[in-house]
Amino acid sequence: MSKEAPAPRENMGAPVPRFDARLKVTGGATYPADIPVADLAYGVLVTSLVARGSLAQLHTDKAATVPGFLGLFRHGDMAGTQPPKFGVAASSIGPLHGDRIFHDGQIIALVVAETYEAAMEAASLVTAEYDEERPSAGFDTQGTETTPGAGASPLFGEDVHAGDFDAAYAAAPVKIDEHYSTPTQHHNPIELFSTTAAWRGDQLTIYEPTQNVTGWKTELSRQLGIDPNRVRVISPYVGGAFGSKGPMTARTAIVAVAARRLGRPVRCVVTRMQAYGTQTYRAETRHRVRIGAERGGHITAFGHEGWEVTSRPDAYVVGGTIATGRLYAYGSVATHVDLVHADRNTPGYMRSPPETPYVYALENAMDEMAVALAMDPIEFRRVNEPTREPIGGKPFSSRSLLACYDEASKAFGWSDRESAVGSMRDGDWMIGMGCATAVYPTNIAPCAARVQLMADGHARVQCGCHEIGTGIRTVAGQMAAERLGVELTKVSVEMGDSALPPAPVSGGSNSTASVCSAVMKACDAIRNRLFLAVSGEGAPLAGAANSGMSLGNGQVIAADGRTVTLADAFATLQTVLIEEYAEFTPKGASPQALKKLYAGQPEFRGGERDDAVKYAFGAELVEVRIHTLTREIRIPRIVGAFAAGRIMNPRTARSQLMGGMIWGIGSALQEETEVDPRNARYVNKDLQDYLVPVNADIGDVQVILVPETDPQVNPAGVKGLGELGNVGTPAAVASAVYHATGIRVRDLPIRLDNLL
Ligand code: MOS
């Protein structure tokens, strides 16, 4: 694996290292639970040991005897506050608002003490009695209810249809009808979940890792019944987000109430085990996929039904048929998504929430169809490349999928693949080569940013978005440096604070597009002010046309070659600092879009919502080796080629895509939360038993950035790619496993016992 950052190709920025790269590996980055707060008390959660019923008794006498014990907050102690609202909040379950138990691991108390150790000891001495009822763990358990998924959550609008699927499928000469499934997966960020709440009078500051400072400020103030301007949420660095720190969980308000009651700041760090029940997760899904095609390979019918697990009260649903229904030239499409309500905590976002499970099912089915048609799987996709998406008949703003397959195939050596199943071998190892498509919608939302340019060439960018490890701080700085013609080292970027100009939730891979568009708008306003000033009568560049002017090397440059230094340009304005505050709204945004942004409820556009379908694409090719005797599965190499509009920084883009493919290998071969069907409890709640890849599991990972220019998506020309890399991987692995062994695994993860 080359350690070098890829050289920029057409429409790509410089591969500069992240501002925070060194800080992060030297311990210099301050995560929310590291921020020093005076007079801190420590909170530890007590969680339910049953999944369904009600809390009958909570025995707290022993806990109160622990030296340093300060208080215990329980059912009833949230009186005067509002329960969470599902949406910005992860769940409508307000665990201390009633005695009802909705799921295993639900918060039943918060113990606060002088030290973390005392709080842990006191919490361990709290015991509970429950009126227990028999829970349902998920699919195939008694007592679950099913509701239609359509319209139930922000991710999923409606089931998509096109043409007469039933007739086309019935008439198709070649067809498959198969079921696929993906397991429960839990977030295990290296930075644990935590909340620190500090009141100063009636002013509340929350330090917590989050992908949504503005949304949380608004939702928390609603729950607490206080003015949003009295709440500030601070989250300078986030150590592993991927959706897990997008929605606000019930703990935040509980810790805030405890801190107010005790008159002291309280910090609560959630243990890894407790995170399984108190945070969100990717719920298990099931799929039925039907594909019908002509003998030449043209698809005439595509049917995709999905089933997802959620909690009793919340209709969280991902509904990835929105993407799968638009991926190829199908002829006809029929889809439907249902929700199964069980006694589980409410699921939530995890890297490409809809696409990961649904595209896995589609792409595994595409591979099965290619086998049924005796076609090369890449050729099968080529034959079904659409000119317009099949649901609304809209054009794609740009679509470089075939270019991605071309570049990936060449780098991988796909032409060396022998098509017959089980025909490739190296000693005791069976070799398989497989492929799959990655796809992710280009989302964009309104965003505000403040930019300052100083006469000495320093610039400052402020935006209430979040550095969740993607490098957004760096690319926003690059955008400012480029537009203002100053060196990147002279640009400082502030993020992760609800006191800054509001940005949307850092989810749906919208941040680079939204934030860079806002930063660009603010920079352009600064440029215009400077250009006007220096071109006026008697000014240094008098008479120069503003349209031909540029900024570079700390100078304003006229089209005719005349220049003036920034210092002299600022002097004409009699100022040393120019500041601009920009509010960016995407094309097609509603008149309320900005109001909603400030209220923490930003509207998303892009994807399939506009007059053109805006998606990023990729092709992933993988080689697996399976030992003939042990059936051990290894992945010596994977190649992914991706096209995502303008690439702001090839280094950070590559990191995102590489990390995505590695995660994809983990979800293909390892990741699964075991749910005990008898008691609806999670079993493997730690990193010892919840399997993720380690270095030794990962071979060569090659990322190819395919040049693509798409002026239609947004002013910055950027498509998001943070959630693109992991989408195709599991199906590519399943395809390669089949090619090596002839065994088709349809239920993830693929482990050696599936291949015996
Ligand atoms: Mo991402 S799962 O949209 O934070």
What are the C-alpha distances in Å from 680 to residues 144, 181, 343, 410, 528? 12, 19, 7, 48, 61
CB-CB contact of 435 with 735 (8 Å): yes
Residue 385 lies in a domain: yes
CATH of the domain at 237: 3.90.1170.50
Q: Look at the block and give the residue holding tokens 């490890």.
A: 469
Query: With bands split at pLDDT 50, 70 and 90, how would you rate the model's confidence at 153?
Result: confident
* Ligand 1 pocket, residues with Cβ under 6 angstroms: 211, 241-243, 246, 349-351, 353, 507-508, 723
Return the ligand 1 atom nearest residue 246 CA.
4
Residue 88 lies in a domain: yes
**Catalytic amino acids?**
723
Residues 328, 180, single domain; the answer is yes
Q: Domain range spanning residue 87?
A: 32-133+194-269
Residue 631 lies in a domain: yes
Return the ligand 1 atom nearest residue 507 CA.
3
Residues 626, 583, single domain; the answer is no
pLDDT at 644: 98
CB-CB contact of 664 with 726 (8 Å): yes
pLDDT at 400: 98
Query: With bands split at pLDDT 50, 70 and 90, how would you rate the model's confidence at 4?
Result: confident
Residues 619, 708, single domain; the answer is yes
CATH of the domain at 455: 3.30.365.10
Residues 431, 293, single domain; the answer is yes
Residues 326, 469, single domain; the answer is no
- DSSP state, 39? T
Residue type, 278: T
CA of 635 to the centre of ligand 1 (A): 26
Residue 3 lies in a domain: no
Please write the tens of the pLDDT for every residue from 64-84.
999 999 999 999 999 999 999
pLDDT surpasses 80 at 2:
no
Residues 250, 109, single domain; the answer is yes
Residue 4 lies in a domain: no
Return the ligand 1 atom nearest residue 722 CA.
1
pLDDT surpasses 80 at 3:
no
156 exposure class (CB count in 10 Å sphere: 0-12, 13-18, 19+): buried
pLDDT surpasses 90 at 124:
yes
pLDDT at 1: 58
CA of 137 to the centre of ligand 1 (A): 25
Rounded mean pLDDT, 691-709: 97
Residues 731, 631, single domain; the answer is yes
The best mutation among 153, 235, 349 to test binding of ligand 1, ranked by most ligand atoms within 8 Å of the C-beta, falls on 349
In sign, the C-alpha dihedral spanning 285, 671, 216, 117 is positive
Domain end point (choices 554, 578, 604): 604
CA of 392 to the centre of ligand 1 (A): 26
Return the ligand 1 atom nearest residue 243 CA.
4
Please write the tens of the pLDDT for every residue from 309-360.
999 999 999 999 999 999 999 999 999 999 999 999 999 999 999 999 999 9
Sheet holding 563-565, edge to edge: 550-552, 555-557, 563-565
What is the pTM assigned to this prediction? 0.97
Residues 561, 595, single domain; the answer is yes
Domain end point (choices 604, 633, 664): 604
Residues 571, 657, single domain; the answer is no
pLDDT surpasses 90 at 154:
no
CA of 505 to the centre of ligand 1 (A): 9
> Which residue CA neighbors atom 4 of ligand 1 most closely?
243
645 forms beta bridges with 718
Residue 8 lies in a domain: no
Residue 147 lies in a domain: no
pLDDT at 69: 98
Residues 410, 522, single domain; the answer is no
Residues 365, 429, single domain; the answer is yes
Residue 320 lies in a domain: yes
How many domains, in total, are found in the chain? 3
Domain end point (choices 604, 633, 653): 604
CA of 727 to the centre of ligand 1 (A): 13
Residues 382, 471, single domain; the answer is no
